[in-house]
Amino acid sequence: MNKMLLNFCNFIFGKHKSNTLPRYWILLADMVIVLFAYVVAILLLYFRDIADSGFDWSRIWIVPITYLVAFLITQTYDGMLRYSGFNDVRKILYSCTGAVFFLVIGKLILSQFNPGLASGIFPRYAIIIYHYLITMVLMVIMRLTIRRLYNEIYKNSSSRLNTLIYGAGDGGTMLLRTLSQDTASLYKVIAFTDDDPHRMGIQINTVKVYSPSIALTEDFIRKYDIKVMILAIPSLNDDRRKELIEKGLALNLSVKSIPNFSQWVDGTLKENQIEDIKIEDLLGRKPITLGKENVSREIKDKVVLVTGAAGSIGSEICRQVMHYNPTELVMLDQAESPMYDFQFEMNNAPEFKDLRDRMAFVITNVKDPLRMREVFEEYRPQVVFHAAAYKHVPFMEENAYEAVFVNVFGTKLVADLAMEYGVEKFVMISTDKAVNPTNVMGATKRIAEIYTQSRQGQTKFITTRFGNVLGSNGSVVPLFRKQIAKGGPITVTDKRITRYFMTIPEACSLVLEAGSIGEGGDIFVFDMGEKVKIWDLAEKMRQLAHRPDVEIIETGLRPGEKLYEEVLANEENTIKTDHEKIMHAVVRKYKADEVDTMLEKLHAELDTCDPMKIVAQMKIIVPEFKSNNSVFSALDK
């Protein structure tokens, strides 16, 4: 029987693009229903009269013509029957009501002038009303029946994943409807689970709601062969969300979630909006959010320059800055391909479609004095966010010359031009590796901090320090993902190693907020929560990928790498700001002439291209710089 239905549907739908009936077929079917309903209405009302003496069918023409016009006006036929829903029912209601309104009012008006003509053209009132009700019911039934048949016949049940939905409220109900209507859906909803005791045992479209104590058990999961759990409560608090994710992973489920209601397209949830759980959801720290008033005051109607704009941090700063309506945003980077991709993204972002004329993209290196001067001369920035830097620790251990040239003297060049051209605020992105540095990269960032902090005048110099950023280019999370995809092993340098983590949007919020509240010479740090063990991070990522077979191995600390990162140096303290999660670091101050002398000596060593001499001078400038690299550790004696 199913095979016969399938062949019939293939015959009907298969000749047409996307298995969609032509609109005139649907209109023709609706008109057949109109005629059929007219016959049924007459038979219901006047069956005996027809049986005795027959019935005059000459007045039937006015009804189908009226309904045809109504259908053409409301376009009841303009839709896919397999996706019929409330909007289609509403169209049917409007069209049929309009038609019956015309018939009743038309007959009333004509009866006032020519009762005989009115009786000859229009059917009786009872027929009009009965016909109206029957037509509406049959049209709705036809659409729902076709939708049901199509879904049942074309639905590929064999390859669908049995799914448990957590949340039996509006989000879960909408999710069930979305998955049920999509014949290509990957998910087959088996059950709901919800914390609300009042929902236990009820059914939503034949799907039963269970308590978590029943549904989130090995017996239940095994009994119904459930493979996926989808969290359908976007407002779920962080602790409960983390608990459910970990419970689902422990049951070997693929855990997913739906986005916040504000992100639904036209108030409708699509299956492609179902999101995979991210590692951020399992880190055990609450995201930091900041206000927007201060930032808006500092950026709105100003020219903003962002260096390193194509990088993870720089690009997110640019995205956030554009929301504050700057006069112009100048995005600068030396990396051509990433910059090309970022330009394409920004130019095609719907939220920035009216701001494209305020965006400028520049390819250059921050250590190029001629080109950088040209940029400042042309655009005259008022606020600078300096994100350009080399950041990979092992790489910079092998390339001390480039690390110093870009991170120190590139920063110095941009800072000097900022002062010369009257920039109001210069915000430098630093790192927790600048605290008690054990590597070249961290030491270069500390020297850059020292230089900018020693500059005083019209331009206010502000520094922000934060830890590792999840998902940034070259960070540990993308590396682990690649290693898992290749089947492992996941490489962790040391089982004891820990790091602070924050998300890219959080890090960039800090940078923008620091730029708004800083008064010059400031170094701001975040309360970043608890440190995360990299080994545990690898374990959680392996869980998320459902790859228990992937091995995690220790490879040993790399040159210059620390076991533990710090946010403040030993002799530094912090002072609270007006923001609970932002602290002002109290650090050693340097005089400008003292710093200039130190940098002159460093530049002299740079001219030798001798990494030992370069690093030796860096250790003089930053006495707390103690190398973990055996090549440079001899200089500490």
Question: Amino acid identity, residue 399?
Answer: N
Q: Which of 257, 252, 35 is nearest to 165 (CA)?
A: 257
Which residues, other chains included, contact 230 with Cβ-Cβ below 8 Å and sequence gap of 6+? 163, 164, 165, 166, 175, 187, 255, 256, 257, 258, 274
Q: Where are the alpha helices (DSSP H) in 389-532?
A: 393-398, 400-403, 411-420, 440-454, 476-485, 504-517
Strand ranges (E), 197-314: 203-204, 207-210, 228-231, 254-257, 275-276, 303-307
Structure letter (DSSP) for residue 584: E
In the chain, the amino acid numbered 107 is K
Q: What are phi and psi of 265, to 5 degrees?
A: -85, 115
Say if CB 242 and CB 178 are below 8 A apart: no
Residue 453: closest CA among 569, 591, 568: 591
Q: Is residue 389 a contact partner of residue 409, using CB atoms and an 8 Å limit? A: no
Residues 8-28, buried b or exposed e (16+ Cβ, 10 A)?
Answer: ebeeebeeeeebebeeeebbe
Q: What DSSP designation does 432 have?
A: G
Of 412, 433, 445, 581, the catalytic one is 433
- Number of helical H runs and strand E runs in the chain: 24, 22
Residue 433 is a catalytic residue: yes
> What residues are annotated to the active site?
433
